[in-house]
Amino acid sequence: MTALDTNARIAVIGAGAMGAGIALVAAQAGHSVLLLDNRPGAAAQAIEGIDRQLGKRVENGKLSAESRSATVARLQAVQDIEALDDCALIIEAIVENLEVKRALFRQLENICDERCILASNTSSLSITSIAAQLRHPQRLLGLHFFNPAPVMALVEIVSGLASDPGLAECLYDTANAWGKKPVHTRSTPGFIVNRVARPFYAESLRLLQESVAECATLDALMREAGGFAMGAFELTDLIGHDVNYAVTCSVFDAYYGDTRFLPSLIQKELVEAGRLGRKSGQGFYCYAEGAQRPQPTSLGSERTVTSCVIEGDLGIANGLILRLHEQGVEVIKRDGSGLLRVGDAVLALSDGRMACQRAKEEGLRNLVLLDLAGDYAKATRLAISCAADIEPAALADGVALLQRAGFTVSRLSDSPALAVLRTVAMLANEGADVLLQGVASAADIDLAMRAGVNYPQGPLAWADSIGLAHILKVLEHLHASYGEERYRPSLLLRRRVAEGRTLHDPS
């Protein structure tokens, strides 16, 4: 099936933040769009708002005056639901309440042609459940846009148990024609993005709770080492803790309390205190006028290093060696198991064990563990951890070497898998379960995380490039250290490692 023709009339019900944005997307794509809201005047106000918004783009030279007026002319506010009788697609973006949505779709079934596709923008309710009481449940699907809809490229096309696969293809093609990046997903709690993204918040919150580092340091690591646009604390301050905590709780409950999704007491406390983030002026950070943003902690070293020894291969961290070469550091190569020696220090990429544990198990004195960087050739900051009994001079040598390579170094307290590595391993683990359970394809999972939440890499491709055996080892060590189900590795990871295949290999 192909995309809906631009002659097809679209309706959007609910003229709030999402509904207005979706109506604009459809109108810009050339459709005539009816906008309806049960609050009198709300739909007309939303269209006025869109007109003002487009007016600013005209002023900035980003849109022609003709496009603005043509787009606005395609939008029409309606008061009466009967006016939607000749629409080809009706997208609902009303209050997030199952019974209210069900009642609306039942009412629509009595008004619309049988060929009309019904879509819900719900982010947390089951499409199967919303459709269950309809006469034609096969024509109801999820069409999940991200906020703000005109800006965010991702649209999750969500199929419930009864949804017609042909209609899912039609919505997919239509979203494509609207300039979006659609992905297919089955209706399971959180769909793709709101499920796979949970560890991004959860692991930083846990590190904070365990006093591994302060918010500003962890946020800086996610940006400057991980390559994420924002760290978890600045991002949840932006999203609003009430919203982010509610999503986490809803996913946790929907999976019958699976501790993978355990909400954080720290975030709960912020919500209880009314510290909702930017919108309330205080979250993890203070947004009052003149408030100073705390700086990440960094560890400096005055020592001078001119050479180091690399034993074996650092694998994904080899970009570090290139940087040392560029800085004129002599790098002596020997056989070995992926260790970097400088002075009395031994540097190694974390495998998920704490430094104290690995130092003891492998008989390595003065071990400095390195965190993951999204790109070791480009990252500007890197986290390290070491056992409490490391000799200060050895630590200073290790830090000096990393500084020579151009990294700002942040020392974390000795915790399994540091910060970026544990986060990426857990994102990949959740993505692997989504794939294992047939909720979405590997390509769609990665696309969803890049286009929906701007991750620098899709978590599955990221894990493939790190090496699945390494990711599995990291998760097994996290699992063993905490003894918690939360860190259990996905069966699919184990299987693919045993088969010697990647997550992107066809199943």
Catalytic positions, written as ranges: 123, 144, 156, 194
Q: Identify which range of 54-62, 120-128, 270-278, 331-339 contacts ligand NAI by CB under 6 A.
A: 120-128
By CB under 6 A, residue 39 contacts ligand NAI: yes
By CB under 6 A, residue 250 contacts ligand NAI: no
**Closest residue to ligand NAI: CB criterion:** 16
By CB under 6 A, residue 452 contacts ligand NAI: no
Considering the complex, state which of residue 128 and residue 490 has its C-beta at the smaller distance from ligand NAI: 128
CA distance 362 to 443: 38
The single residue among 16, 55, 240, 294 that binds ligand NAI, judged by CB under 6 A, is 16
Residue with tokens 């109801």: 140
| Nearest by Cα to 244 from 274, 276, 281 | 276
By CB under 6 A, residue 122 contacts ligand NAI: yes
Considering the complex, state which of residue 122 and residue 403 has its C-beta at the smaller distance from ligand NAI: 122
- Smallest gap from Cβ 16 to ligand NAI, in A, equals 2
By CB under 6 A, residue 38 contacts ligand NAI: yes
- How big is the CA angle at 321 (ends 318 and 327), to the nearest 5 degrees? 150
By CB under 6 A, residue 107 contacts ligand NAI: no
Q: Omega of the bond prior to 294 within 30 degrees of 0, cis?
A: no
The single residue among 13, 130, 384, 420 that binds ligand NAI, judged by CB under 6 A, is 13
Considering the complex, state which of residue 127 and residue 386 has its C-beta at the smaller distance from ligand NAI: 127
Q: Identify which range of 89-97, 375-383, 422-430, 453-461 contacts ligand NAI by CB under 6 A.
A: 89-97
By CB under 6 A, residue 18 contacts ligand NAI: yes
By CB under 6 A, residue 126 contacts ligand NAI: no
By CB under 6 A, residue 15 contacts ligand NAI: yes
By CB under 6 A, residue 187 contacts ligand NAI: no
By CB under 6 A, residue 37 contacts ligand NAI: yes
Considering the complex, state which of residue 420 and residue 453 has its C-beta at the smaller distance from ligand NAI: 453
Most distant CA atoms of the chain, gap in Å: 79
Q: Identify which range of 117-125, 211-219, 327-335, 402-410 contacts ligand NAI by CB under 6 A.
A: 117-125
Q: Could you tell me if 320 and 342 are in contact, meaning their C-beta atoms sit under 8 angstroms apart?
A: no
Q: Identify which range of 14-22, 213-221, 285-293, 341-349 contacts ligand NAI by CB under 6 A.
A: 14-22
Q: How far is CA 38 from the centre of its chain?
A: 33
Q: Identify which range of 31-39, 228-236, 346-354, 484-492 contacts ligand NAI by CB under 6 A.
A: 31-39
Considering the complex, state which of residue 16 and residue 227 has its C-beta at the smaller distance from ligand NAI: 16
| Nearest by Cα to 75 from 101, 53, 57, 103 | 53
Measured between its terminal Cα atoms, the distance across the chain in Å is 26
Pairing of strands 33-36, 381-386: unpaired
By CB under 6 A, residue 19 contacts ligand NAI: yes
Burial class (CB in 10 A: 0-12, 13-18, 19+), 151: exposed
Residue with tokens 């693919």: 496
By CB under 6 A, residue 96 contacts ligand NAI: yes
By CB under 6 A, residue 100 contacts ligand NAI: yes
Phi (first) and psi of residue 12, to 5 degrees: -125, 130
Total residues in contact with ligand NAI, by rule CB under 6 A: 23
CA distance 349 to 372: 7
Q: How far from 504 is each of 305, 364, 373, 431, 432, CA to CA, in Å?
A: 41, 36, 21, 11, 10
Q: Which residues contact 370 (CB under 8 A, 6 or more apart)?
A: 317, 320, 347, 348, 349, 350, 382, 383, 384, 418
By CB under 6 A, residue 183 contacts ligand NAI: no
CA distance 89 to 87: 6
Q: Which residues contact 94 (CB under 8 A, 6 or more apart)?
A: 13, 14, 16, 19, 38, 100, 101, 104
The single residue among 95, 229, 291, 469 that binds ligand NAI, judged by CB under 6 A, is 95
By CB under 6 A, residue 17 contacts ligand NAI: yes
Give the three-class secondary structure for 5. Answer: coil
CA distance 444 to 448: 6
By CB under 6 A, residue 94 contacts ligand NAI: yes
Interface residue list for ligand NAI (CB under 6 A): 13-19, 37-39, 42, 93-96, 100, 104, 121-123, 145-147
